[in-house]
Structures are given as C-alpha cells and as structure tokens.
C-alpha cells in the first residue's frame, strides 16, 4: 500500500459509499450461489478478500464453476435483503435526509446487488457491481470481464468516480474486504466494518473499526453532533438514533 491516504477531516461527509457483501448484508452473494460446492467457493472468496490471491484469479473461476441462472441470481437478491444488517434502510434514509450522496460499490453480481440496494433506498444510478449475462432461457451466459470490480485494484477507480462531486474533504467509505481497503485512499474516512467478517488485514490497517453487527454503530462515525441533532429534531429517525446509542462501536 504505497498511495498516501488523505487526512481524515471527519464528518460531515457529502458522499458515503458502502460495500455490499458482509457490510450491508451478512451474506457473500457468490457463496450463496454455490450449493454443494459451497466450501470450495467460500475458500476462494475468503482468500481473495484476505488479499492472499488477486481477485481476478478467482472471479471468473467461481462463476465458471457455478454458472448461475437468472433465477438463482434473483434468489440472491432476495437473500441480500432478508439478511440485511439491522438498520441498513434506516441509515440510508438518514443519510439521504441530510442530502448525502449514498452509493453502493460491490464486486458482487449487479443483477443481485441492484434490487437489494434499491430496496434499502439507494438510487439505482449510484450502484456499481459486475454485470452478468443470461441467455433467453435464463441460463448463465458469462459476466462482464472488463468490469474493474472483478479485479484487484479496480475498486479505487470506481469509488473515485462516484465520490468526485464530494472531493476534496467530504467522502467516506464503509467496507470489510481488502478491495475496500485499497479504495480507502480515494476518501477521507475509511471505516472497516467487521460486524460480519473480521479480516485482520483490513481492521489492522484502519483507524475506524466497527465490530457490532448493526449499521446503527456507524452513526457517530458518519454524522456530526449537529447532524444527529437535526435527525433527532425531525422525529423520523428515532429507531436508528436509539440503536446508535445502544451500539457504540
């Protein structure tokens, strides 16, 4: 990691970017497609997220093994939502109530990530993931292997593009994997979310670490006291704010 990170000037942030798998939802979408190859696939995913192998070495290999159908990918979208972290939608609602640009950047499959992100209140045009193709019968027909999100080193450029309107000084990123940590240099504040998966390569390199399995724990890290007061005054975010009090990171 040679690139210097920008100084962490703290909130308020105008742009907040979230990873999806093991951050907004407890699942790793690709692993959920694996069925009886689960162990083999999960081992590949874990090695990539721990930084032991390059993402592009396992990305195509996993999909070639799994060949997920349109229906299978749709089931992952449902599972992302069913296994969403507590207060995912409430946190997005609070960020958007304060006019923040909320984005999701994922190495997961776009056709599963997008419906989930929309369901928790993220604008479709601020969701980036890896497009997958199906034939007319709904069978797997390949993925977009030109996607920067399917290879190591690709996530920073995608994050940089999404947060460009908020630079300098006003961007934050929340994620659990090494690909998220790589993108930390594109934002002022990186938060390692270890509420689902605690990856020492990531948490050990991060100033802000959340170990509670509740996204309300991000409230004191992403908002100023004034912003929290404004949310409280609106009366529309009481559940999130109460949970934040009980879920100090």
* Beta carbon of residue 175, minimum distance to Mg ion (angstroms, whole number): 6
How far is residue 183's CA from residue 200's CA, in Å, rounded to a whole number?
A: 17
Pick one of 13, 22, 109, 122: the residue that binds Mg ion (CB under 5 A).
22
For Mg ion, which is the closer residue by CB, 26 or 69?
Answer: 26
* Catalytic-labelled residue, pool 8, 21, 31, 176: 21
Q: Build a one-symbol-per-residue string for 1-20: x at contacts with Mg ion by CB under 5 A, - elsewhere.
A: ------------------x-
Strand partners, 208: 191
Q: Residue 23 or 152: which CB sits closer to Mg ion? A: 23
Q: Is 19 a catalytic residue?
A: yes
The answer to the question of residue 21 lying near Mg ion (CB under 5 A) is yes
Pick from 152, 189, 158, 197: which is nearest to 173 by CA? Answer: 189
227 binds Mg ion (CB under 5 A): no
Say whether 212 sits in a helix, a strand or coil: coil
Handedness of CA 32, 34, 39, 44 (dihedral sign): negative
Within positions 142 to 201, which residues make up the interface with Mg ion, using CB under 5 A?
Answer: 176-177
> Least distance in Å: CB of 131 to Mg ion?
18
Stretch that binds Mg ion, among 22-30, 59-67, 90-98, 226-234 (CB under 5 A): 22-30
Least distance CB 28 / Mg ion (angstroms)? 7
Q: Number of C-alpha atoms within 13 angstroms, CB side, residue 46?
A: 11
Return the structure tokens found at 159.
């994050």
Regarding 111 and contact with Mg ion (CB under 5 A), the answer is no
Give the separation between CA 118 and CA 27, rounded to whole angstroms: 17
Shortest spacing between CB 236 and Mg ion, in angstroms: 29
Residue of 8, 19, 176, 214 marked catalytic: 19
What are the φ/ψ torsions at residue 77 (nearest 5 degrees)?
Answer: -60, -45
Please tell me the distance from the alpha carbon of residue 112 to that of residue 187, in angstroms, as a whole number: 26
Number of residues this chain uses to bind Mg ion (CB under 5 A): 6
Alpha carbons 144 and 132: distance in angstroms, whole number: 6
- The Cβ-side half-sphere exposure at 26, using a 13 Å CA radius, reads 12
Query: 123 catalytic, yes or no?
Result: no
Rank residues 23 and 203 by Cβ distance to Mg ion and give the closer one: 23
What does the binding site for Mg ion look like in residue numbers (CB under 5 A)?
19, 21-23, 176-177
Catalytic residue list: 19, 21
């Amino acid at each position: 990691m040679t690139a210097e990170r920008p100084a962490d000037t703290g909130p308020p942030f105008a742009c907040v970017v979230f990873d999806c798998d093991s951050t907004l939802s407890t699942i790793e979408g690709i692993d959920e497609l694996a069925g009886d190859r689960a162990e083999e696939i999960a081992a590949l995913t874990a090695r990539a997220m721990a930084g032991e192998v390059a993402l592009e070495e396992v990305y195509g290999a996993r999909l070639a093994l799994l060949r997920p159908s349109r229906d299978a990918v749709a089931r992952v979208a449902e599972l992302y939502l069913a296994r969403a972290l507590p207060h995912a939608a409430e946190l997005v609602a609070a960020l958007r109530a304060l006019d923040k640009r909320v984005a999701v950047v994922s190495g997961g499959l776009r056709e599963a990530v997008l419906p989930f992100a929309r369901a928790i209140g993220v604008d479709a045009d601020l969701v980036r993931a890896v497009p997958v193709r199906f034939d007319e019968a709904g069978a797997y027909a390949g993925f977009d292997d030109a996607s920067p999100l399917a290879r190591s080193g690709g996530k920073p450029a995608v994050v940089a593009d999404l947060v460009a309107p908020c630079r300098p000084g006003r961007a934050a990123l929340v994620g659990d994997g090494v690909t998220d940590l790589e993108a930390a240099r594109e934002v002022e504040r990186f938060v390692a979310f270890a509420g689902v998966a605690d990856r020492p390569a990531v948490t050990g390199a991060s100033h802000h670490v959340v170990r509670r399995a509740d996204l309300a724990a991000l409230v004191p890290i992403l908002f100023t006291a004034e912003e929290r007061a404004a949310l409280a005054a609106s009366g529309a975010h009481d559940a999130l704010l109460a949970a934040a009090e009980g879920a100090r990171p």
